[in-house]
Amino acid sequence: MRKSILLLIVVGFSSLGFAQAKAKQEVPLEGAIQGDATANCDVKYSSGISTTTTQFCVTVNGNIPQFSVATEQMMGIAEGYGVCDTTSNTSYYGYAQSDSGNWKSPTFTHNGNVITIKRATSDGLWELTQTITNEPASSAGFGSAKVSMKLQNLSGTTRSAQLIRYADVDANSDFTNHFDATSTSAIGLDADFNHGLMITNNTFNNNYGYLTYVLDIAGLPDPCNPFAYLPSTLPYIGDGSIVSFWDFTIAHKGTASVVSTYKGI
């Protein structure tokens, strides 16, 4: 992991009062444009039986605004992805309720348990390909949504970028949840510790920086400022979100590919 990322995290968690628990709020990016945002589901998946029942859905833009386990809703609509071109400090993001407005129209393909969504940025610099795979539940455990993201540099030069996967967790449709994280996983649990949602990083590339962490707001993070609103301590109790983060340098026409997974617990 790159030293710069570790430094950011250490500073964020050691700064008392850096971010306090807040009342329920949705904090879009300053000057955010709704763009093509949608929380309408194009494909829905359901698997498992009784206590292992798992359901989630996917929008045309590649968001997962609903994820439930054992009939308990885990998400508060806002789920998605963000790209920061750190070479130019330009943000591109797509959440189910807010969109940066600088994407071209998506290409959406559905084939059984696999959905593929391609979105190019309107400036022609980047293309993000998402492959979302339904991994069905069984009688032995919950199902999961595996999210693969491939970022391609379409520009004529080498560029650096940050990529995030984000979910506002409202386990059991409650705004007060219990959150904790390691460097490779982050969880949000309902107040009674019955169920929760976990995101894991499944990509370990020595050329990438990576981290999985908690934010103490349900607002929408700026991909160019992804460590704002870190809680001062963990575990954290309140309204929060879970995030997977990667950063890399990508050559002209090159790609960087990452995988993360949402799973009920």
Domain count, the chain: 1
The pLDDT of residue 25 is above 60 = no
Q: What is the pLDDT of residues 115-157, one digit of tens each?
A: 999 999 999 999 999 999 999 999 889 999 999 999 999 999 9
Taking residues 259-263, report their average pLDDT: 98
- Closest residue by Cα to residue 34 from 84, 96, 83: 96
Burial class (CB in 10 A: 0-12, 13-18, 19+), 80: buried
User: What range defines the domain where residue 91 resides?
Assistant: 3-264
The pLDDT of residue 38 is above 60 = yes
Residues 110 and 59: their CA atoms lie apart, in Å, by 11
Average pLDDT value for the chain: 88
Taking residues 218-232, report their average pLDDT: 91
Task: Record the tokens describing residue 108, joined without a space.
Answer: 């959406």
Count the residues in the chain.
265
- What is the pLDDT at residue 50? 84
Taking residues 195-210, report their average pLDDT: 96
Domain CATH code at residue 234: 2.70.98.40
pTM for this entry: 0.88
Q: Provide, rounded to the nearest whole percent, the portion of the chain with pLDDT above 70.
A: 87
- Closest residue by Cα to residue 61 from 32, 37, 77, 45: 37
Cα dihedral 214, 216, 221, 226, rounded to 10, equals -50
